[in-house]
Amino acid sequence: MKEHITVTKADHVATVVIDRPPHNHVNAVLVNALADVFEELGRDDDVRAIVLATAGKVFCGGADLTGDKPLADESGESETPALYRGAYRLFAATKPVVVAVQGAAVGAGLGLALVGDFRVAAPEARFSANFVTLGFHAGFGITATLPRVVGEQHASLMLQTGRRVKAEDALRFGLVDEIAPLADLRAAAERLAGEIAANAPLAVEATRATLRGDLAEAVRTRTEHERAEQDRLMQTADFREGIKAVGERRKGDFVRG
């Protein structure tokens, strides 16, 4: 999956771009390949900050849990364990990350955006923790990472309603740090990363580590619980209805079953 990832470096900033058409869906292989890249950049002393971006109109449409059996669990039944191991590795990365969000960040795509220390969004960006609209439980560590960024109340609102949040609202409650025109989005993210990279790198990394504390371990622990709830809910009629409703472009008719 590294064929879907490109890396460029300039002025102590590495820009990492995911290009997996049509909607940059993530799966276990892609997330672990991205974690490999982050770990390689972590060992590169010339890199002081990372920009994470994606190609196309959609930042990330969520998780694609089909295929890629080499990174599935031992039974081959589910990719989720490997996907979430990759998520843990991303949150354990040591360099500051600025995420450029140009469009929809949905489900696991929102989880990917939350990997960043900062998010720069275009006005066209939308953020959605849409899991409950599918009869599903949130994943990718979002139940740990989203409240940390926006607070328990805003996180609960997003997670329990599944509503889409516009860029200006995301800025208002702290999910987004800056809004930039779409044409200038990546450059704006690189400017913020450059502002970070202009400082003493050891001091930045130490300060970041102190601020993040046990975030990576919290993601590891929380994804174990999220996975258990996802496995349970996948057996329900409501989950089957949620998936069917999405395919038919309608709201689900849920029955608590």
DSSP string, 130-149: -GGGGT----TTHHHHHHHH
Containing H/E element for 237?
helix 237-247
Residue 208 Cα distances to 10, 142, 202, 212, 214, angstroms: 22, 20, 10, 6, 11
Counting as low any pLDDT under 70, the low residues of the chain are 1, 65-78
- Tokens 């046990």 locate to 214
Count of structural domains within the chain: 1
E-only strand ranges, 73-223 = 97-101, 104-106, 118-121, 126-128, 164-166, 178-179
Residue 62 is assigned to a structural domain of this protein: yes
pLDDT given for residue 70 in this prediction: 41
Residue 227 is assigned to a structural domain of this protein: no
Residue 33 is assigned to a structural domain of this protein: yes
Residue 6 is assigned to a structural domain of this protein: yes
Q: Domain of residue 8: give its range.
A: 2-182
CATH number of the domain where residue 107 is located: 3.90.226.10
Count of beta carbons in the 10 Å neighbourhood of residue 155: 22
Residue 244 is assigned to a structural domain of this protein: no
Residue 127 is assigned to a structural domain of this protein: yes
The distance of Cα 190 from the centroid of its chain, to the nearest Å, equals: 18
Backbone angles phi, psi at 114, to 5 degrees: -75, -10
Collect all residues with Cβ–Cβ distance below 8 Å to 3 and sequence separation of at least 6.
Answer: none
Tokens representing 156 are 């609960």
Residue 129 is assigned to a structural domain of this protein: yes
Type of residue at 215: L
Residue 77 is assigned to a structural domain of this protein: yes
Containing H/E element for 123?
none
pLDDT given for residue 77 in this prediction: 42
Tell me the sheet residues that pair with 100. Answer: 120
The answer to whether 139 and 230 are in contact (CB under 8 A) is yes
The answer to whether 26 and 60 are in contact (CB under 8 A) is yes
pLDDT given for residue 13 in this prediction: 99
The answer to whether 13 and 190 are in contact (CB under 8 A) is yes
pLDDT tens digits, 11-44: 999 999 999 999 999 999 999 999 999 999 999 9
Collect all residues with Cβ–Cβ distance below 8 Å to 202 and sequence separation of at least 6.
Answer: none
pLDDT tens digits, 159-199: 999 999 999 999 999 999 999 999 999 999 999 999 999 99
pLDDT given for residue 146 in this prediction: 99
pLDDT given for residue 80 in this prediction: 83
The answer to whether 130 and 162 are in contact (CB under 8 A) is yes
Q: Which residue in 8, 13, 10, 16 sits closest to 196, CA to CA? A: 13
